Homo-oligomer: A and B are copies of this chain.
Amino acid sequence: MTYFQQAPELDVSGWLNTTTPITLEQLKGQVVLIHAFQMLCPACVSHGLPQTQAVHKLFENEKVSVIGLHTVFEHHQVMNKAALEAFVSEYRLSFPIAIDTASTQGVIPKTMHSYMLRGTPSIIVIDKQGNIRLNHFGRISDLELGNLIGQLLTEPENISSATSQDLPSKSKYPQKSQPNCDAEGCAI
């Protein structure tokens, strides 16, 4: 039997595109896609955010919730909430976007730290029981992401432990060591 890690709750300082804060606890029973990005990360803008928007649109009538997570770990001064609001408006993003709570002790914000993200873009997929089923830094193809969401959608909502021997228990994607931003993303 495979055991998955329970997704830690989001620790966020604000929300865009939603009037009420969202908790992962509320979303139990749904597949959740969290896209961690920075507004000045080129690969997030060219690949990750359009993909996330497409997931949001394709599954809007299904048990899939999409959340953007602004995990600023560089240029904190200029990637503030007002800047993010302008960015989200200009890029016409329509899914709820959370602002990761800044740390008082370092550059890495709190949710980014608790999920041990390696940079942006990162994609986290959580199953209906609240388990982390994918935690991936860099790009992932639409075919792979669609496949994973499709598999998780068919799982039952209310069992306490999924066995799912056919499903990836962790990311199988190679995780490169990258200095700063390149075409693949911005690494810590």
**Hey, which bits of chain A sit against chain B, CB under 8 A?**
40-42, 45-46, 51, 54-55, 58-59, 62, 74-75, 77-80, 82-83, 86-87, 90-92, 141-155, 166, 180-181, 186
Contact = CB atoms under 8 A, between A and B. Distances in A.
B155 A58 contact: no
Q: For the complex formed by this chain, how many copies does it contain in all?
A: 4
A75 B141 CA distance: 33
Given A62-B166, A75-B83, A79-B86, 20 more contacts: A41-B90, A42-B90, A42-B91, A45-B45, A54-B141, A75-B90, A78-B78, A83-B83, A90-B180, A90-B181, A90-B186, A143-B143, A146-B146, A146-B149, A150-B150, A150-B151, A151-B151, A151-B154, A154-B155, A154-B166
Contacts of A62: 166
A142 B151 contact: no
**Nearest 3 pairs of A and B residues by beta carbon:** A146-B146, A150-B150, A142-B142
Contacts of A151: 150-151, 153-154
A141 B151 CA distance: 17
A92 B82 CA distance: 24
The DSSP consensus for interface residues of chain A is: helix
22 contacts: A40-B86, A41-B90, A42-B90, A45-B45, A58-B141, A58-B143, A58-B147, A59-B147, A62-B166, A75-B90, A145-B146, A146-B149, A146-B150, A147-B149, A148-B150, A149-B150, A150-B150, A150-B153, A151-B154, A153-B166, A154-B154, A154-B166
